[in-house]
């Protein structure tokens, strides 16, 4: 346990490292203090990976308007946040930011006031963790009222932040155009734009899209979290789709992970094309994230297994229906074997073998992503499916949960397993919501795996 909570690695989830010293802003460096920060008791940190006071506001929409300069590898533009305060005493807006962002100005406008000129706001940048900083913005007292819409505009420039990857044309396949793409998972998008960088906040967003013949605007009608907002641009050619189809962009080997389920446009590393089987599994897994991960989202990064475990279960249900039980069983057994091998390397009592790992402040959530997040999460969901006794009925329950939770943008302070276990299953065989939480979520080792592995051969899970 002590080793887990020592000073974390200097590399974040996208393998870039920048020193953190608060941040930068244009103009006067002596900004005034701006009230309660993220450590203030009025601003409770539910998500320890976020400096923001997201619980004080409802984010209804954000609009990002950027200009890209490939010559100097720089993005500049503005971000517009449509916010509704939900707390009567709030006087400060705190956003997640990063030292790579150069803040030029911040202003506020109240649409119902119909004023021509927005009000310029003061702000302060402070260190938060090695992967980000906090941007504290003083709000005008006469404009901030609970339930009243305000628009915050942040004008800024960003260059080589951890979320942004610039490639010269020589490093691309055609070697004819330069390329830039972003990767925000888990906590990197705060270096792309100031935001509530937490999965607890989900909102609709829009962004102008440069095209050769006519301007267009990309608008995402769903409401994924901030880490799922990505950009991929090659010189003047940009492809973004807002229709319900599976669009994929294959990225160079510098892409820091295998695949990412961005809404409307999945990012996949090009090296996976060498194996059609791995490509098939990964594409289906990212499609499954459209239901679990993007639509139904874990509230904090401690609950990442809710996204990956449910998505892995859905992925294997899809492959079972499409390619048969043998295909899914083989892939599952291989992954569970890898999980056991990882456990032998780490030790039975290693805290990362928990289904839900406790994050300490300052620890980058991406450093704790491993096979346990995926496979132990899958085993837990499979275990519930076995208890249900009918895989089709359990599928129906998951569909209901998806439909009920997909539009939620709030944070659940405590996820009870009443959200996961069908009511009539609770209590079956001595199972109840009280015994589920301590034993299966925070327990160490492989107690649950043997149960789920035996289910693979029973036919009750459909895998």
Q: Provide DSSP, 280-301.
A: HHHHHHHHHHTTBTTTB--SSG
Residue 110: phi and psi, rounded to 5, are: -105, 105
Pair 210, 180: CB distance under 8 Å: no
Q: What is the pLDDT of residue 127?
A: 95
Q: What is the pLDDT of residue 252?
A: 82
State the alpha helices, DSSP H only, in 44-173. none
Give the number of other Cβ atoms within 10 Å of residue 425's Cβ: 19
Q: What is the pLDDT of residue 154?
A: 98
Calculate the CA 59 to chain-centre distance: 16
Q: What is the pLDDT of residue 28?
A: 41
Structure tokens of 62? 């954000």
Write the Ramachandran bin of 20: left for phi over 0, alpha for psi from -120 to 50, otherwise beta. beta
Give the number of other Cβ atoms within 10 Å of residue 33's Cβ: 10
Give the angle subtended at the CA of 7 by the CAs of 5 and 158, to the nearest 5°: 120
Q: 87 vs 42, 155, 356, CA distance in Å?
A: 10, 26, 30
Q: 405 vs 223, 314, 393, 411, CA distance in Å?
A: 11, 16, 19, 11
Tokens 């289904």, residue located: 355
Residues 6+ apart with CB under 8 A from 64: 77, 78, 79, 80, 193, 205, 206, 207, 229
Total number of residues shown for the chain: 463
Domain positions in the chain: 31-274, 301-455
Q: 178 vs 234, 235, 253, CA distance in Å?
A: 6, 6, 15
Q: Kind and range of the H or E element at 318? A: helix 304-323
Residues 6+ apart with CB under 8 A from 1: 351
Per-residue pLDDT of the chain (463 residues; tens, 9 = 90+): 322 333 333 233 333 444 444 555 454 434 333 333 333 333 344 788 999 999 999 999 999 999 989 899 999 999 999 999 998 889 999 999 999 999 999 999 998 887 778 999 999 999 999 999 999 999 998 888 999 999 999 999 998 899 999 988 887 777 788 888 888 888 999 999 999 999 888 888 888 866 544 455 566 666 667 777 778 776 533 333 333 567 888 888 878 888 887 777 888 888 888 888 888 899 899 888 888 877 777 778 888 888 888 899 999 999 999 999 999 999 999 998 998 888 888 887 888 888 878 878 888 888 777 888 899 889 888 888 887 777 888 888 788 777 766 655 333 333 334 444 555 655 554 444 434 544 555 556 555 544 344 444 433 333 3
Helical pair 304-323 and 276-289, crossing angle rounded to 10 deg: 120
Rounded Cα distance between 22 and 129, Å, is 9
Structure tokens of 38? 């993220």
Per the CATH hierarchy, to which homologous superfamily does domain 301-455 belong? Neutral Protease Domain 2 (1.10.390.10)
Pair 107, 118: CB distance under 8 Å: yes
Catalytic residues: 286, 374
Binding-site residue set: 285, 289, 308
Binding-site residue set for Zn(2+): 285, 289, 308
Determine the topology of domain 31-274 in CATH.
Immunoglobulin-like (2.60.40)
Rounded Cα distance between 325 and 221, Å, is 36
């Amino acid at each position: 346990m002590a080793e887990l909570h020592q000073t974390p690695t200097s590399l974040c989830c996208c393998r870039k490292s920048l020193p953190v010293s608060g941040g930068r802003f244009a103009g006067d460096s002596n900004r005034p203090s701006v009230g309660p920060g993220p450590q203030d008791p009025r601003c409770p940190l539910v998500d320890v990976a976020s400096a923001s006071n997201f619980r004080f506001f409802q984010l209804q929409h954000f609009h990002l308007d950027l200009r890209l300069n490939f010559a100097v590898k720089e993005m500049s533009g503005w971000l517009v946040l449509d916010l509704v305060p939900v707390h009567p005493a709030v006087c400060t807006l705190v956003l997640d930011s990063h030292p790579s962002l150069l803040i030029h100005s911040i202003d506020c406008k109240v649409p119902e006031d119909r004023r021509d000129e927005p009000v310029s706001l003061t702000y302060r940048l402070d260190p938060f963790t090695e992967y980000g900083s906090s941007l504290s913005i003083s709000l005008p007292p006469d404009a901030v009222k609970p339930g009243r819409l305000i628009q915050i505009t942040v004008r800024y420039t960003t260059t080589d932040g951890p979320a942004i990857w610039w490639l010269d044309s020589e490093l691309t396949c055609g070697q004819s155009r330069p390329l830039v793409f972003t990767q925000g998972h888990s906590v990197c998008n705060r270096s792309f734009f100031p935001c509530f960088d937490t999965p607890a906040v989900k909102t609709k967003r829009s962004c102008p899209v440069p095209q050769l013949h006519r301007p267009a605007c990309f608008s995402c009608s769903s409401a994924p979290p901030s880490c799922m907002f990505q950009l991929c641009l090659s010189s003047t050619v940009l492809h973004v789709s807002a229709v319900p189809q599976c669009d994929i962009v294959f990225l160079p080997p510098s892409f820091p992970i295998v695949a990412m389920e961005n809404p409307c446009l999945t990012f996949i590393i090009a090296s996976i094309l060498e194996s059609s089987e791995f490509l098939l599994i990964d594409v289906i897994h990212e499609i499954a994230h459209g239901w679990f991960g993007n639509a139904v989202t874990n509230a904090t990064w401690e609950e990442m297994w809710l996204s990956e475990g449910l998505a892995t279960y859905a992925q294997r249900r899809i492959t079972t229906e499409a390619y048969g039980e043998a295909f899914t069983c083989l892939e599952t057994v291989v992954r569970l074997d890898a999980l056991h091998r990882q456990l032998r390397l780490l030790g039975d009592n290693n805290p990362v073998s928990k289904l839900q790992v406790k994050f300490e402040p300052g620890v980058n959530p991406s450093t704790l992503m491993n096979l346990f997040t995926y496979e132990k999460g899958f085993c837990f969901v499979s275990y519930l499916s076995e208890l249900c006794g009918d895989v089709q009925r359990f599928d129906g329950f998951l569909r209901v949960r998806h439909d009920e939770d997909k539009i939620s943008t709030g944070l659940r302070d405590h996820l009870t397993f009443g959200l996961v276990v069908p009511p009539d299953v609770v209590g079956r065989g001595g199972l109840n919501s009280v015994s589920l939480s301590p034993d299966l979520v925070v327990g160490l080792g492989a107690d649950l795996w043997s149960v789920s592995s035996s289910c693979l051969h029973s036919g009750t899970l459909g895998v």
